[in-house]
């Protein structure tokens, strides 16, 4: 009777420890997947390079993360923080970007309302600068060297 009870207790501890390890492993796996928040991003292209200071935009100008990271429409932590490029770089053949398929079925959504990458950046960056009356709006002020 006593030894049975202590066997059960040992079993219970055993299960608890296994669950704890599984929990820690899943947590580690999950956090390893989330991308780091960038400090600065340099875009190079035919327009001339643009430096985007992510750290200062995210913490220095009192902007919510979701002022820029906007899809899904009701963003949960993590899911909405994907790079703009993962969605707005539309494949040349006009097909749905792969990232959409994480959440939508192939025939469920279209691309009519989604601007292409460069338009998406210009519209959001310049749109906010105009709205706030702060930050560069002239080509040369962003496209430096």
> Interface residues with ligand HEC (CB under 6 A)?
35, 37-38, 41, 43, 45-47, 50, 52-54, 56-58, 61, 63, 65, 67-73, 79, 81-88, 97, 99-100, 102-104, 109, 111, 113-115, 117-118, 120-126, 128-129, 132, 134-139, 141-143
Cα(20)–Cα(16) distance, rounded to whole angstroms?
6
- 75: Cβ–Cβ under 8 A, 6 or more apart, which residues? 66, 69, 81
Smallest gap from Cβ 13 to ligand HEC, in A, equals 39
Smallest gap from Cβ 26 to ligand HEC, in A, equals 19
Smallest gap from Cβ 105 to ligand HEC, in A, equals 11
- Residue 45 or 94: the one with the smaller Cβ distance to ligand HEC is 45
> Burial letters for 34-58: b for 16+ Cβ neighbours within 10 Å, e otherwise?
eeeeeeeeeeeeeeeebeeeeeebb
- 34: Cβ–Cβ under 8 A, 6 or more apart, which residues? 78, 81
Residue 26: both structure tokens together: 């899943």
- Residue 38 or 107: the one with the smaller Cβ distance to ligand HEC is 38
């Amino acid at each position: 009777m006593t030894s049975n009870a202590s066997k059960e207790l040992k079993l219970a501890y055993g299960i608890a420890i296994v669950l704890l390890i599984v929990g820690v492993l899943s947590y580690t796996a999950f956090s390893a997947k989330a991308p780091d928040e960038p400090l600065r991003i340099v875009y190079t292209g035919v327009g001339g390079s643009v430096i985007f200071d992510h750290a200062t935009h995210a913490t220095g100008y009192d902007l919510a993360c979701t002022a820029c990271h906007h899809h899904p429409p009701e963003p949960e932590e993590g899911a909405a923080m994907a790079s703009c490029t993962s969605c707005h770089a539309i494949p040349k053949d006009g097909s749905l970007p792969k990232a959409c398929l994480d959440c939508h079925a192939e025939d469920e959504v279209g691309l009519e309302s989604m601007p292409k990458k460069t338009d998406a950046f210009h519209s959001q960056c310049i749109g906010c600068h105009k709205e706030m009356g702060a930050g560069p709006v002239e080509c040369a002020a962003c496209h430096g060297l």
